[in-house]
Amino acid sequence: MPIWLIAIFILSGFSGLIYVGNHSGWFDAQVYEPFVDSQHLEAWARPPGPGEELKRGKATFGTLCSTCHGDTGTGSATTGCPPLDGSEWVMAAGPNRIIRILQNGLAGPIEVKGGKYGGGAVAMTAVGAALSDQQISDVLTYVRNAWSNKGKGAAPVTIEQVKAVREKIKDKSGYFTPDELLKLPEKD
Ligand code: HEC
């Protein structure tokens, strides 16, 4: 066999391997076209979805809110903590009021689901003041979509909404009152 023919065989075999390698993530068993390598695939396969923010929100709820509002958001008539599950405040069209409650706290009494809560010595402190915009967006998105609030179509609370409200109330010190909040549009 002439040497040039052997050379052509070797060259075409080699370029064939390069081609396959190029189009299959260098033989990574998990990578196929159109992904060129495993990082490319990872970036596409797991976009940060609402699942992640709900998980983070649930964790924050467990550390910061459940002692008062209960693990399942039922609140407690004995301690004067109102329910979050089924609360018209939580499920309002926009997060306008609940972002303010987390940032500055709330001194009632407040009416939730037809019952009276808070007031007197019982108030909600500014538990969200030290949280990041994202943590507030996560935990509020979670309470709007947990327990029986799930599936009611409450829109997620975005980081931008948290930022915008925080900017508006940056000069406000002290608790909000329910009356003050009710004067605000439900959604703005
Ligand atoms: C120290 C106990 C306490 C903690 C911790 C707490 N809350 Fe509250 N929360 C209250 C009380 C009490 C009220 C009612 C205050 C009032 O009107 O006097 C309230 C009111 C609310 C309301 C408005 C009324 C309703 O039931 O919808 C929301 C929303 C709320 N809290 C969300 C949260 C979230 C989210 C967290 C965690 C980030 C949290 N709270 C942590 C005690 C607490």
Nearest protein CA to atom 5 of ligand 1, as residue: 65
Atom of ligand 1 nearest to the CA of 60: 38
| Whether the CB of 98 sits within 6 Å of ligand 1 | yes
Burial environment of residue 115 by CB neighbours within 10 A (0 to 12, 13 to 18, 19 or more) = exposed
Question: If you measure from the C-alpha of residue 151 to the centroid of ligand 1, how many angstroms do you get, rounded to a whole number?
Answer: 22
| pLDDT tens digit at each of 188 positions of the chain | 888 888 888 888 888 777 776 776 666 666 667 677 777 766 666 555 568 999 999 999 999 999 999 999 999 999 999 999 999 999 999 999 999 999 999 999 999 999 999 998 999 999 999 999 999 999 999 999 999 999 999 999 999 999 999 999 999 999 999 999 999 998 87
Question: If you measure from the C-alpha of residue 124 to the centroid of ligand 1, how many angstroms do you get, rounded to a whole number?
Answer: 5
List Cβ neighbours of 92 (8 Å cut-off, separation of 6 or more).
98, 186, 187
Q: Which two tokens stand for residue 17?
A: 């391997």
